[in-house]
Amino acid sequence: MARKKADTLRSKYDAFLGNHPLMGDVIVCTSVAAALIGLFLFVAFSGFGSSAEFIYNQF
């Protein structure tokens, strides 16, 4: 008696996108927007955008 193979995450994702074709674009756009917002917040509030002298003085 053979066991049934478990569905992989990729097969579930492909099946979901097959039923909801526009959701793939929404997922990609949301991921890119979150990455850009995260990068902006990091640069704006971490002091990474400060002058080199300020950064070197921290070490």
pLDDT tens digit sequence for 48-59? 666 777 767 777
Question: What is the C-alpha to C-alpha distance for residues 34 and 55, in angstroms, rounded to an integer?
Answer: 26
Nearest to residue 24, comparing CAs of 32, 4, 39? 32
13 phi and psi angles, rounded to 5 deg: -65, -45
> Is this model's pTM higher than 0.75 or not?
no
pLDDT score recorded for residue 9: 92
Alpha helices in 1-59 (DSSP H): 9-19, 23-45, 52-57
What's the DSSP call for residue 59? -
Amino acid identity, residue 45?
F
